[in-house]
Every structure is written in structure tokens, then in C-alpha cells.
Amino acid sequence: MKVLKLIGGFGLLSFIGSLMACGAADLIEAFDAEAQLAEDIEIIEQYLADKGYTEYDTLESEVRVVILDEGDGESIEYNDIIQYDYIGTFANDSLFDTSIAKLSYNQDTLTATYLELAKDDDELPILDVNGLQELDTVAYPDYYLPVYSSLRTYISFITTHSQGGWFIQQEGSIQGFKDGTHQILDNVNLGGRGLMLIPSSLAYGRTGTFLIDPNIVILFEIRPVRKR
């Protein structure tokens, strides 16, 4: 979903050197990863408190996992191939992605976001706030499609759950999503639901994505629906 831009080490060092030579090195602001993580954890724990979630797991990676419903379907065993739906939200509960088509139809927030972006970006068209077709015809950066689009196929993810780690078929999945999904599948049956809260460093980090700002905590609810 992201296009990575690589900067040659020599070129970067030369650039930094030139800044220092002209006395402008103080323009480079150091990123404090520990401070950012502490801020993310504060947001996560405030969300948990606001929702009344008192029982949750804190993983070694600092991802928090809440089991919302253990489910009354078949148990999930190691080496099962699991099909699951997901719902991605921000800490304000606004939806940014889902595999469930019927949850994606309300795109008022998405349209408003594009209208705001379009004010300062000549490459984004001004959209009709009541229109759906305009959203479907936008050439999205980084191959991104919006929460709802007629161009998109809504389909559950598939993963193989294993004891010594796990294998996810979707390449490029963020580390926090992998950690959280494994923990959820360890603790629910089919029909269950689990929620993971991911610090930004294990999500989209300092760069963000087209619709996700840098250093943003994100949440995913996972719903395993069948196995084989």
C-alpha cells in the first residue's frame, strides 16, 4: 500500500555534512522514539479506560489485545488455515479500512477528508460531497483505495496459525498487525472477536500513509469466520 523511497547512504551523509558546514545542522530535529512510544501508550491506555476494557494483554511489542468475544464456534488449533475479517479504526473510532463491504458504505468522513486535502493539492480533484462516482474515479496515490469503492473487492484475509510464530499470506503487513492477530487467534474460537491497539512504531510509523498521518495509533478488530 506504500511506495518506499530509498535514499543512498552516501548522498544522505553528504547532505547532512553540507548542513553542518553552513551551520544549519540545528534544522534537523531528532526523533525521540521513546517519547513517541510513551505518547502512544498513553493514548492506548486512555482508550481502554474510556471503553471500560479492564482485562487485556500487553504483548512484548507493547501492542494491547482485548478479547471482545471468545466465540462459540469451532476452536482454532495450530496449523489451521484461518479466514478472518478485519475492521481498522483510529483511536477516535473512525473507520479507515475493512474487509466487510456493508461496514464501508458510510463514506462521509472520507469525502470530507478529500475535500480538505484538495484545497491545497492541485493533483487532487475537488469532489462533490454527495457524490460516490467521484471517489471511485480518483487516481489514488500508492495504489490506495478508499474505505468504499466499486473498484475494490471486499474479501476476508487468510492466515496459517502456528505455534512458533505464524505465516500471513498478505505480504507487507505491519508488525503490530501480525503480533495482534496471532494473539487473538490464540484466544478465540470461530465467531469470536478480538481488538488490537497498535503503537505507531509498529503501524505506519514516522511516514504514515495517504490517509494515515505519521505517528498515529491504529486499531484492528479481528473476526475469524471459518477454517480449513
Which domains does the chain carry?
Answer: 35-227 (3.10.50.40)
Contact 212, 205 (CB under 8 A): no
The per-residue DSSP string of 98-136 comes to ES-GGGS---HHHHHHHHHHHTT-TTSPP--TT-SHHHH
Query: What count of other Cβ atoms lies within 10 Å of the Cβ of residue 182?
Result: 21
Q: Which residue has the cell 490506495?
A: 144
pLDDT for the residue 188: 97
Strand-strand pairing, 218-227 and 165-168: unpaired
pLDDT for the residue 56: 97
Measure CA 4 to chain center: 17
pLDDT for the residue 152: 66
Distance CA 88, CA 41 (A): 18
> What stretch of H or E contains 82?
strand 81-90
> Would you say how long the chain is, in residues?
228
pLDDT for the residue 163: 78
Q: What is the pLDDT along the chain (228 residues), one digit of tens a residue?
A: 333 333 343 343 333 344 444 544 444 468 888 999 999 999 999 999 999 999 999 999 999 999 999 999 999 999 899 999 998 888 988 778 888 776 665 444 454 554 455 555 555 444 444 444 344 444 433 334 456 566 667 788 888 888 765 566 555 678 899 899 999 999 999 999 999 999 999 999 888 887 788 999 999 999 999 998
pLDDT for the residue 151: 61
Contact 228, 76 (CB under 8 A): no
Judged on CB neighbours under 10 Å (0-12, 13-18, 19+), 225 is middle
Nearest residue to 110 via CA among 61, 81, 146: 146
Query: What count of other Cβ atoms lies within 10 Å of the Cβ of residue 180?
Result: 28
